[in-house]
Structures are given as C-alpha cells and as structure tokens.
Amino acid sequence: MSDSVAVGLVGAGHWAEIVHAPTLAAGPSTRLAGVWARRPEASAELAGRHGAPSFERIEELFDACEAVAFSVPPDVQADYAAQAARAGKAVLLEKPLAMDLDGARSVAGAIAEAGVVSQMVLTLRYSRAARAFLDRARELEPFGGYGSFVSSVLSGGPFATPWRLEKGALLDLGPHIVDLLDASLGRVAGVRAHGDPLGWLGLTLEHEGGAVSQASVSMAGMGELPPARVEVYGRKGHALLDWSQLGDDAFATMVSEFAASVRGGPAPALDAAHGLRIQEILASAEAQLTEA
C-alpha cells in the first residue's frame, strides 16, 4: 500500500519477534522500515527475517521512518522515545511508560512538547471483546468491580526479563488491570496498596463518581492458571471480561489505528498522557508499599 506508514522498530527481543515485527511488516497500513537494537546480531536477524534493514545507529533508524515502535525495557524506552519525539517521529509505546514516575513524566513531556502522535500498547483495550465489555459496563451505572491477573513469570520463560524480576507484578500486570477498571468504572481518584509485588499484591481503587474496585495481581503463580478477568457490577446488571474471550485481532487493530492517527486521523485516546496517568496511580501504590 503506497500510503502505508513506515515504522521503525526499537528492540529485537521475544515480544518484538513474535508480535511487533510481524504485525508491522504485514501491513497493509504499515511497513517495517527497519530494526535497531542494542544487540546488533539480534537486530540483523529479526530485520532480515522480514526483509527490512538493520541499523547500527538509532539515528539512522529515525531517518528511515515516520514512526517508531518500542519493544524494550521501560527505562530504555523512556530515553529513546523522548529522542524519537524530538526527531518528529510518532511513537508506539509499551507499558509501563518508564521504569519510574520521573522517567514517565520526562518522556510524556517530550512527546507533548514535540506535538507528535503517541499511542500506548495496552493491547487488551483494542480487542473486540474488551470494547464490547466497556460499552456494556458503562450502561450499568456501575458502583464496583474487581480485577485479577496472575501469571507464572517469576518461575521463568521468555518474559522473565530483568526488569520484571526486579519490579514484579505492579508495573507489568498492574497497567492492564488498572487501565480496564479506570475505563469501566470511572477515572481512578485514589489507590491503597498492600502486599508484595514479587508475591501477591492487592490494590483498592477509588473512582470519580463514587465507585470502588479491587485488583489482585501476581507473577508468582504456578501450574495451570485461570485467565485474567475484570468484573463490573452496577445498578443495571453485571459485566465480565476474561482473557479467554480475547481473539488475536487486538494488536493488528491497534497498529491500524495508530497508522490512521499518523496519517491525520483521530488522536489516540490511549496516548502517552494516558500512560502517564496510569503510571501515577501505580507510583502512588509503589510508594505506599515502600513505606509500609
């Protein structure tokens, strides 16, 4: 497609390999303009698999693209995403926005100052099932809800990366659950936290309008685990979303909508400013856990 958006990819790890690179290369709204990673051999291998160039310097990648997608640890993303924004590139950002709140504020500020398109990879929000759930939840006059997400990442596997093993479930799984509860019950106005990000972590969220929700997240699960889920209760009924309902359409839909925004379409609702707001909630929870 002649009007496809040229997207450069920063990162060549497992998630970039199985999701970012093939989706960006598949089009039709995008084409993979190239790959840059801190490990040149990984960058070259992934780029070659999709017929794209691999760059030795990240500035060369920026020169070859209109937009940049990130699949790197949060602290690395914060530095390079700000650099991409200052170079005038639209940015597709993983969650969390940065490793800490200062980093998140810095990158969100750089994006706002540059005036470039930004979109968060809160993948679940782009699925048909999640959108139908949110439409239903908003009709219920909701007053409360619950979310849970338990994984086995701490026991190993491709997602047992150093930052996840250090920070635990709050920064990895927390953004998904908090974002969905925020979207279905109203903006989060306050949070109370207890537990251990490397064990079991509980959050109580107070929402504008009076709703209250609880969220439980853990990466210490073992064996066969139930799918993550979010439930909302209201004066007009009940709505449930569990991850087994999600198809494989979400990432492709997200990329298509990102490309449309780059081409002058509606600005993404889930932009860097939204990512910063979610991270502010998580940072408040983290501070309470540190002080406990």
pLDDT bracket for residue 49 (50, 70, 90): very high
Count the domains in the chain.
2
Chain-wide mean pLDDT for the chain? 96
137 with 199, same domain: the answer is: yes
Closest CA to 145 of 114, 84, 186, 91: 186
What is the domain extent for residue 34?
Answer: 5-123+249-270
206 pairs with which residues across the strands? 190, 212
The helix-helix angle for 74-86 and 101-114 (nearest 10°) equals 20
Residue 276 inside a domain? The answer is no
Does pLDDT of 2 surpass 80?
Answer: no
236 with 261, same domain: the answer is: no
Per-residue confidence (pLDDT) for residue 137, from 0 to 100:
96
- SS3 state of residue 202: strand
> Model confidence over 11-32: pLDDT tens digits?
999 999 999 999 999 999 999 9
> Model confidence over 89-134: pLDDT tens digits?
999 999 999 999 999 999 999 999 999 999 999 999 999 999 999 9
Tokens of 196: 């251990």
Per-residue confidence (pLDDT) for residue 292, from 0 to 100:
66
- SS3 state of residue 215: strand
Residue 30 inside a domain? The answer is yes
CATH of the domain at 190: 3.30.360.10
Phi/psi region, residue 96 (left: phi>0; alpha: psi -120 to 50; beta: rest), is: beta
Residue 275 inside a domain? The answer is no
257 with 118, same domain: the answer is: yes
Per-residue confidence (pLDDT) for residue 206, from 0 to 100:
98
Integer Cα distance of 254 and 102 in angstroms: 27
139 with 107, same domain: the answer is: no
Does pLDDT of 201 surpass 50?
Answer: yes
Residue 39: how many CB atoms within 10 A of its CB?
A: 12
Residue 203 inside a domain? The answer is yes
